[in-house]
Amino acid sequence: MQFTNILLEIESRIATVTFNRPKALNALNQETLLEALACFRELKNNDEVQVVILTGSGTKAFVAGADIAFMRELTPLTARNFAFLGQKVMNTIEGLGKPVIAAVNGFALGGGCELAIACDMRLASDNAKFGQPEVNLGVIPGFAGTQRLPRIIGKGRASELIFTGDMIDAAEAYRIGLVNRVVPQDQLLLACQAIAARIISRGPVAVRLSKEAITNGMEMDLARACAYEADQFALCFASPDQKEGMEAFLEKRTPRFQGK
């Protein structure tokens, strides 16, 4: 698939999606969000792809937010539709059925931070900066930042970031659990690819069901979430990969998973 503002590369079962509007620090306008939606829907249905890495083009920005020039002229109704579109992109990442790793290679602000936190995990380059600066523009986060950020770093820390609009650096993002790891910029994609390769070597069905258990279970109370986990666990036993994984362990050999 060809896009104007997004680059898509698929190699060794890893899809790398690069937001590519360097002149606007990869900011998300409507066209880019529509392309992202089409891209993620395609990746969801592409069985060749097992892990997705998201990043931004260049060395300065992951994504510097929703496009402010685009948003300036919005009305309440078109603003609501824009927020719904952004939220649909984030929800599609969560519902992709395969792990998505954010390679945060610079500014991840506003919609860019919201994009990163819709991913399953985040690795950051040492120059990365995170923030929800919307209050500086007289608005609030609209791509689910007020909802996902407190779920990841807690209500107090999320409130501080959202109410002050302050940016934090990669070291602070690591300290508060917003990112899994901080690496030098030239090693960021390699580090993400190494995690992706480890995930790909495991049972794809089990990886998929564990993503669903984590993502959907976090929206339930503990009793319902545990029941849901038990159902996902049970579903693994319908897959040849479960038989192969357990047989391989008992036969002391490496499993040959088929992804079924």
Interface residues with ligand CAA (CB under 6 A) are: 24-25, 27, 64-69, 86, 107, 109-111, 114, 133-134, 137, 141-143, 145
Q: Judged by CB, which is closer to ligand CAA: 134, or 229?
A: 134
Catalytic pick among 35, 94, 114, 229: 114
Instruction: Examine the residue annotation and report whether 160 is marked as an active-site residue of this protein.
Output: no
CB of 24 to ligand CAA, least distance (A): 4
Residue 33's contacts (CB-CB under 8 Å, 6 or more residues apart) are 82, 85, 86, 89
Instruction: Examine the residue annotation and report whether 172 is marked as an active-site residue of this protein.
Output: no
Q: Judged by CB, which is closer to ligand CAA: 62, or 174?
A: 62
CB of 73 to ligand CAA, least distance (A): 13
103 within 8 A of 54, measured Cβ to Cβ? yes
CB of 74 to ligand CAA, least distance (A): 10
Measure CA 96 to chain center.
10
CB of 176 to ligand CAA, least distance (A): 20
Q: Judged by CB, which is closer to ligand CAA: 43, or 118?
A: 118
Catalytic pick among 35, 94, 134, 229: 134
Residue 22's contacts (CB-CB under 8 Å, 6 or more residues apart) are 57, 58, 61
Helix axes 111-118, 76-94, angle to 10 degrees: 30
Q: Side by side, which strands form the sheet with 100-104?
A: 6-11, 14-19, 51-56, 100-104, 121-125, 181-183
Give the amino acid at 69: A
The two beta strands, 167-169 and 107-109, are unpaired
Q: Judged by CB, which is closer to ligand CAA: 41, or 80?
A: 80
191 within 8 A of 246, measured Cβ to Cβ? no
- Residues marked active site are found at 114, 134
